[in-house]
Amino acid sequence: MDLGLKGKSVLVTAASKGLGKASALEFAREGAIVTIASRNLEELNKTAADIETATGQKVAVVQMDVTSERDIAKAVETAVEAGGGLDVLVTNAGGPPGGTFDDFDDQAWIKAFELNLLSAIRLIRASLPHMRARGGGRIVTITSTSIKQPIPGLILSNTIRAGVNALTKSLATELAKDGILVNTVAPGRIATDRVAELDQQKAAAKGIPVEDVQAEMIAQIPLGRYGSPDEFGRAVAFLGSFANTYITGQALLVDGGMVKSL
Ligand SMILES: NC(=O)c1ccc[n+]([C@@H]2O[C@H](COP(=O)([O-])OP(=O)(O)OC[C@H]3O[C@@H](n4cnc5c(N)ncnc54)[C@H](OP(=O)(O)O)[C@@H]3O)[C@@H](O)[C@H]2O)c1
């Protein structure tokens, strides 16, 4: 299947590693002009080199923090310059800290809002004029299976990502007339640094080996393993592609069957 991404300009934030990097790699494989953004320039340059080696596609980088409105403007400008416009936006960010209700004060809630919801709002706002100028576009937000089933011990993420999902669904209706399709891709348990870190924290809290934590998790996944970043990236690339012409406002869970709700 031709995903219709050849020569399209794609911006992926929080893409120096993990799910963002895997998504950027898939777009580059499809011949898109990809811009990757995150805070650590050294990591970004390494990732750009990895993607260029794997795909032969030149990748633009921009050092930015998604919690800064100015940095968001800079990231969108960089992608527009690199690709002669902007066709696809993938909004991604780091995850808020784990913990339960009693652990967090207003400041922690505000930070989580800024990191995961306000960043998506601002990225989309900055990108829309460019997509409208192109006569359409694709937006993919990266959330979590917690949009369907809250995850114990991740109350900040559970709450804020529900907002990102509602934003995604609302925008699908509002932006359809502009030819802009908006979807979210929700990872379950994809083997990245973040997941390894969460498993370590859980093991330390329970005083058990990390392998036992992983075995408990895997027992809940019908496919019997964690997903790989490239399995996730392929789902993002399809929903963010121009082969996707009739799917909008959807939440696609990439979770090996973990969430059991209909
Ligand atoms: N992996 C999973 O199975 C899973 C499941 C559910 C939800 N999620 C969520 O999906 C997102 C990506 O997860 P991941 O597993 O890929 O995490 P990861 O491996 O830890 O990667 C996080 C990425 O985010 C970037 N980043 C963090 N804070 C940033 C900021 N303020 N501004 C710009 N970039 C920032 C990091 O780069 P720099 O350090 O260079 O900034 C890095 O590239 C997270 O929000 C995570 O909570 C993941």
Which residues are CB-contacts of 134 (< 8 A; sequence separation ≥ 6)? 85, 86, 87
Task: Say what the pLDDT of residue 22 is.
Answer: 98
Distance from the CA of 94 to the center of ligand 1, in angstroms? Answer: 3
Judge contact between 254 and 235, C-beta under 8 A: yes
Atom in ligand 1 nearest the alpha carbon of residue 116: 45
Each of the 262 residues of the chain gets a pLDDT tens digit; together they read 999 999 999 999 999 999 999 999 999 999 999 999 999 999 999 999 999 999 999 999 999 999 999 999 999 999 999 999 999 999 999 999 999 999 999 999 999 999 999 999 999 999 999 999 999 999 999 999 999 999 999 999 999 999 999 999 999 999 999 999 999 999 999 999 999 998 998 899 999 999 999 999 999 999 999 999 999 999 999 999 999 999 999 999 999 999 999 9
The position carrying tokens 């709700």 is: 261
Orientation angle between helical segments 18-29 and 229-239, nearest 10 degrees: 60
| C-alpha 95 – ligand 1 centre gap (Å) | 6
Q: Is the dihedral of CA 167, 231, 136, 115 positive or negative?
A: positive
Task: Report the candidate in 90, 108, 72 with the shortest Cα–Cα distance to residue 32.
Answer: 90
In the chain, at which residue ranges do the beta strands (DSSP E only) sit? 9-13, 33-38, 59-63, 88-91, 137-142, 180-187, 251-254
Q: Which residue, judged by its Cα, is nearest atom 28 of ligand 1?
A: 94
168 Cα–ligand 1 center, Å: 19
- DSSP result, 94-138: PPPPPB-GGG--HHHHHHHIIIIIIHHHHHHHHHHHHHHHHT-EE
pLDDT of residue 198: 87
Render pLDDT for 117-148 as a digit per residue (tens, 0 to 9).
Answer: 999 999 999 999 999 999 999 999 999 999 99
Q: Which atom of ligand 1 is nearest to the CA of 151?
A: 6
C-alpha to C-alpha distance for 160 and 238, rounded to whole angstroms: 25
The pLDDT, as a whole number, for residue 20 is 98
Cα(135) to ligand 1 centroid in Å equals 30
CA distances 252 to 20, 54, 147, 236, 255, Å, are 16, 27, 11, 9, 9
Q: How far apart are CA 81 and CA 60, in angstroms?
A: 9
Closest residue to atom 41 of ligand 1, CA basis:
39
Asked whether 17 lines ligand 1 (CB < 6 A), one says yes
Strand 137-142 vs strand 59-63: parallel, antiparallel, or unpaired?
Answer: unpaired
- SS3 call for 73: helix
Substitution site in 23, 39, 142 for ligand 1 pocket (most atoms within 8 Å of beta carbon)? 39
In the chain, the domains with their CATH numbers are 9-190+228-254 (3.40.50.720), 191-226 (no CATH)
Among the atoms of ligand 1, which is closest to the Cα of residue 197?
Answer: 20
| Closest residue CA from atom 1 of ligand 1 | 190
